[in-house]
Structure 1
Amino acid sequence: MKKTKKFVAFLMASTMVFSMAACGTSKSDSATTDATANDSATETTDATKDAAETSADGKTVITFSWWGGDSRHEATIAAVDKFMELNPDIEVQTSFGAWDGWEEKMATSFATSTASDVTQINWNWITSFSSDGSAFADLNQYSSIIDLTQFDQSKLDLCTVADKLQAIPVSMTGRIFYWNKTTFEKAGISVPTSLEELKKAGETFKTVLGDEYYPLVVGEYDRMVLMVYYLESVYGKPWVENGELQYTAEEVQTGLEFIQSLEDDHVIPSVETVTGDGADSIDKNPKWMGGVYAGIFEWDSSATKMQSALTEGQEFVVGDYFKDMGDYQGGFSKVSLGFAISESAKNKEACAKLINFLLNEEEGIKLMASERGIPLSKTGLQVCTDNNLLNATVAEANSKVLAWTQFSLDPTFEDAKLKNNPDGIYYDVMQGLSYGDYDLAAAATALIEGVNGVLGN
């Protein structure tokens, strides 16, 4: 039944995508913003990487890849262009795209040693792809180029695995609520500051604005993060600690019941509804852009992307953590992302120069600003602060996250076997629950077995 429903939703989504594509415009240059074209660019870069270590005019050639939204792409391209202007002996070839499908592509490139020389990585990629230190270079060896003193040792330690500093942490992040204040005002209510108010908003949206309006939208992985926030608030313990899941089947079932109650109370749309919208991500969803979906639970570092996606005339505000979730301050923080140098890179010194420029040098810092969150680099933070370059929304969200969260994230939480779309355990469980193929007990069992499988228990 679930597969049939999902297939119907997929057909609807495909029709919407093709219809939108027929009305759209194309844009391409040496660093393609189109996701499909970018896949091709990445494959080309990987295939020719060994042959292109030196360009025809004698320049050292390095490759650099990242994912993100349009504003991150634009800022990073500008910073790379400035780096090449200041370092005319180095040519940087870039490839980038949206998150959807990016991790799977990078997993293949790491396994085949064809990854870009400099890569933007998720924190958990260190343990997922380089637990033995084989994928990423030890950046301690390039401390004469990358100023490691700009970073607290405790943060560098988070990226140290197999006795190697495998990435430079760019920022810390956590999930927080964001609201489209304009839509809430249209419904005649204020943005919610408690779980009770959020649940009441579901009925108000349905009655005042119509069935298609929801105060919150969350994808499958978002549902998982929100559930852990709820459980940590209720029980006061981390999801995983010391390689062990800390929750019983009954407790996990309580968390899943909470997620299902949000759907039942018209707080969030069903998985089928969101799939039928035909968008790869929430920021690309017309219902988010137009205010039909009026809230998200997202990383603080994603504020710019989500805000810039809204159509003109809508007010985007940072929400608060809900004190009535439970007796504890649930939610977690983690390294948002890092910059790593592939062990296969032939010109690691040039790669180190690029990383240091982006994170620690004034001209690079000014162009990158807070597109990847609030900088952990001391100089980066100072330059951004002195020049009013911190996105006010990102800064507000980050300060709330770091002031509230008391739990850290175990890197296995983001293991590909769990969070990959569509085959990860989180997707299977959250889709199965939403479509009605799992009852609460079966969903809890599937989730626990999946997590324990990744943990090796």
Structure 2
Amino acid sequence: MSYKKAIFLSLTAISAFTACNKDKENTASNPTTNQEVTLRVSWWGGDDRHKKTLEALRLFEEKHPNIKIKSEYGGWQGWQEKITTQMAGNMAPDLMQINWNWINIFSKNGDGFYNLNDLNSTIDLNQYDKNILEQCVVNGKLNAIPYGVAGRVFLYNKTTYDKASLTLPKSFDDIISSTKVMKEKLGNDYFGFETDYYGALLLMLYKLEQETGKPFIVDNAVAYTPEQIKNAADFYLNLVNTKTIPSLEDRAAAGNIQLDQHPNWIVGKFGGTYEWDSASLKWRDSLEKGQELVVGEYPKDFGPYKSGFSKVSMALAINKNTKHPKEAAQLLNFLVSDPEAVKILDVSRGIPANASAVSTLKENNLLDPFILEANNKVIEFAGKGIHPLFEHRQLHTSLKDIVDKLGYKQLSSEEAANQLISVTNNFLKENN
């Protein structure tokens, strides 16, 4: 073989090898080829959510013939345990509906789920409020996309206030003074406001965050001083002592029933409450015929900071070990923003946090104006959000016990403040 011929054959082989490598690189960097891909998707919910999600997934398959969906779904009971087993065994689905606090459980350092910032060319993150997205960020990594945001709003029975010739309250001082008038004109069994023990705790935290600009927990510790919490407890006790709201003892005397099912709520003897926006239709529809419920303004008696209690209601996350991150991102973005998918899913997971999805629902008259107004007010006056462990069952039970004892006058406001701090801080130390 001549020297020139050998050189020619070597160059040809190198060229062929290089071309082959480039083909492999192109396939790896551009996963949207026509090769068939199967994605596992999981969620929990009721029959309505299952039916609508399956329909939306079929539509995605029609629009992406090379992507097949394997659905895994069921009721809430035992669902977290199932996901925990899958995560531990590296067998989790590609795309998962998750509870927001699962980020803290499965991704304390931010590496438990796929970093969606790396998929921002596929997922339109501009459709989300930055403060809402931030609640799903750990160590700079976006672990999930918030599907929706839920929060507490002030709901008032306008009919009751009208009967007493009162305007709707805009402050807690208004609620207190309105109650006096209601009792004079309508009867002593009328109250300007009503809440359970959890609502009592949230009203205390509402005051504290509005004063300080800080949420209850910052850097894994209670952010408030004993004196600040004592003052908040005194604020709640003042509502009870002025008979603006029934005491917890009075509530218990009426039986262990939900407030929306309480006879005094149904007939309008309770003038208002602080409840979830996502449940506002339930509160409205439980009133007897002729009663009108409205979404009120957030009271701003205490300071310059926004302090509405809010949280990410649920989120969508991608498995950190998925073999198909691009396709999983395509599916995620489709479910939260594609107009046809949004219309199919409507509010089966609550009002979406995605701005384009909200526009689609509004344009197609798929949003009840009442619940939309409630959700808009939640977003507009949302505080800094909550710590992922705030609603942990163990902590929740402990805080309930303290607030109950405060309400039953078994603890002073000072004792309750000290216990709230010590119990919460000890819990956080044990669980972080």
TM over 0.5, yes or no?
Answer: yes
Quick one: structure 1 residues 156 and 297, their matched pair in 2 at CA, closer, same or farther if it must change by over 3 Å?
Answer: same
Residues in 2 aligned to 1:418 and 1:374: alpha-carbon distance in whole angstroms: 29
Summarize deviations over 1:252-289 as a string: whole Å, max 9, x none: 11100111111222222233444455566444555444
Distance in 2 (CA, whole Å) between partners of 1:431 and 1:345 is: 45
Query: Partner of 2:337 in structure 1?
Result: 360
Within the candidate set 153, 157, 161, 1:176 is matched to 153
Specify the alignment match of 1:376 in structure 2: 353
Q: 5+ unaligned residues in a row in structure 1: which ranges? A: 1-58, 67-72
CA distance in 1, matches of 2:166, 2:394: 37
Q: Are the aligned partners of 2:97 and 2:317 in contact in 1 as well (CA < 8 Å)?
A: no
CA contact 1:216–1:294 (8 Å) conserved in 2: yes
Matched, 1:429 2:402: yes
Q: How big is the shift at 1:366?
A: 2.0
In the TM superposition, structure 1's runs of 4+ consecutive aligned residues that sit over 6 Å from their partners are 141-145, 344-354
Is the aligned partner of 1:447 residue 2:405? no
> Relative to 1, partners in 2 of residues 1:264 and 1:243: Cα closer, same or farther, differing over 3 Å?
same
Q: Structure 1's 185 and 153: CA in aligned 2 closer, same or farther, altered over 3 A? A: closer
CA change 1:226–1:152 in 2 (3 A) is: closer
Which letter maps to 1:270? S
Partner of 2:4: none
Instruction: Decide whether the 8 Å contact of 2:39 with 2:328 is kept in 1.
Output: no
Corresponding residue SS for 2:315 = strand
Residue 442 of structure 1: how far off its partner (Å): 1.2
Paired residue type of 1:414: F
Q: Cα RMSD between the aligned structures?
A: 3.9
The aligned residue for residue 191 of structure 2 is 214
- Give 1:178 shift: 0.9
Alignment of 1:311-350 (within 5 A): 311-323=288-300, 325-332=301-308, 334-341=310-317
Shift, 1:408, TM fit: 0.8
Cα deviation for residue 434 of structure 1 reads 0.9
Cα pair 2:153 2:308 within 8 Å, conserved: no
Which of 255, 276, 280 is equivalent to 1:303?
280
Q: Measured at CA, do residues 77 and 125 of structure 1 come closer, stay the same or move farther in structure 2, by a change above 3 Å?
A: same
Structure 1 pair 152–193 and aligned structure 2 pair: CA distance change class (3 A): closer
Q: Deviations over 1:196-235 (max 9, x none)?
A: 2211233344454445443322222222221122223345
Check whether the contact 1:238–1:246 (CA below 8 A) recurs between aligned residues. Answer: yes
Correspondence 1:247 to 2:224: yes
Partner of 1:64: 43
Aligned length: 382
Give SS of 2:312's match.
strand
| Structure-1 separation of matches of 2:289 and 2:276 | 23
Amino acid at match of 1:64: W
Q: What letter corresponds to residue 271 of structure 1 in structure 2? A: L
Cα pair 1:75 1:368 within 8 Å, conserved: no
SS in 2 for 1:446: helix
Amino acid at match of 2:44: S
SS in 1 for 2:400: helix
CA contact (8 A) 1:79 1:358 kept: no
Relative to structure 1, the CA distance from residue 393 to residue 437 in structure 2 (aligned partners, 3 Å threshold; closer, same or farther) is: same
Work out which of the residue numbers 38, 49, 55 in structure 2 matches 1:82: 55
2:110–2:137 CA contact under 8 A, matched in 1: no
Tell me by how many angstroms 1:148 deviates. 4.6
Aligned to 1:456: 429
Identify the range of structure 1 (202-211 vs 348-357) with the bigger mean alpha-carbon deviation: 348-357
Match of 2:370 among 381, 393, 396: 393
8 Å CA contact 2:298–2:308 kept in 1: the answer is: no
Structure 1 residues 229 and 82: CA distance shift in structure 2, 3 A: same
Q: Distance in 1 between matches of 2:256 and 2:145?
A: 32
1:380 CA drift (Å): 0.8
CA distance in 2, matches of 1:194, 1:276: 29
1:4-403 pair list within 5 angstroms: 62-66=41-45, 76-77=49-50, 79-83=52-56, 85-86=58-59, 87=61, 90=69, 92=71, 94-96=73-75, 108-113=81-86, 120-132=97-109, 136=113, 138-139=115-116, 147-148=124-125, 150-151=127-128, 155-161=132-138, 164-235=141-212, 237-275=214-252, 277=254, 281-323=258-300, 325-332=301-308, 334-341=310-317, 355-369=332-346, 374-403=351-380
CA shift, 1:320, in A, is 1.0
In 1, are the aligned partners of 2:191 and 2:243 still within 8 Å (CA)?
yes
Quote the Cα distance in structure 1 between the aligned partners of 2:181 and 2:106.
46
Distance 1:333 1:217, change over 3 A: closer
Report which of the two structures shows the higher radius of gyration computed on alpha carbons.
2
How far apart, CA to CA, are the structure 1 residues paired with 2:328 and 2:248? 42
How many angstroms apart in 1 are the aligned matches of 2:265 and 2:178? 17
Q: Do the aligned partners of 2:56 and 2:344 also contact (CA within 8 Å) in 1?
A: no
- Is contact 1:206-1:214 (8 Å) kept? yes
Partner SS for 1:312: coil
For residues 330 and 172 of structure 1, what CA distance do their matches in structure 2 show? 16
**Cα deviation digits, residues 348-374 of structure 1 (max 9, x gap):** 889767644442121231244456555
Change (3 A) 1:378 1:450: same
Describe the SS at the equivalent of 1:226.
helix
Structure-2 change in CA distance of 1:157 and 1:321 (3 Å)? closer
Aligned to 2:14: none
Deviation at 1:250, TM superposition (A): 1.4
What are the ranges of 5 or more consecutive residues in structure 2 without an aligned counterpart?
1-37, 63-67
**Normalising by structure 2, what TM-score?**
0.72
Give the distance between the partners of 2:302 and 2:86, measured in 1 at CA.
Answer: 46
The residue type equivalent to 2:155 in the other structure is Y
- Deviation sequence 1:107-157 (CA, Å, 0-9, x none): 544544489956654433322453245765555677687555544566434
**Cα distance in 1 between the residues matched to 2:335 and 2:174:** 42
- For residue 19 of structure 1, what is the aligned residue in structure 2? none
- Counterpart CA distance in 1 for 2:254 and 2:331 is 39
- Native 8 Å contact 1:78 1:367 kept in 2: no
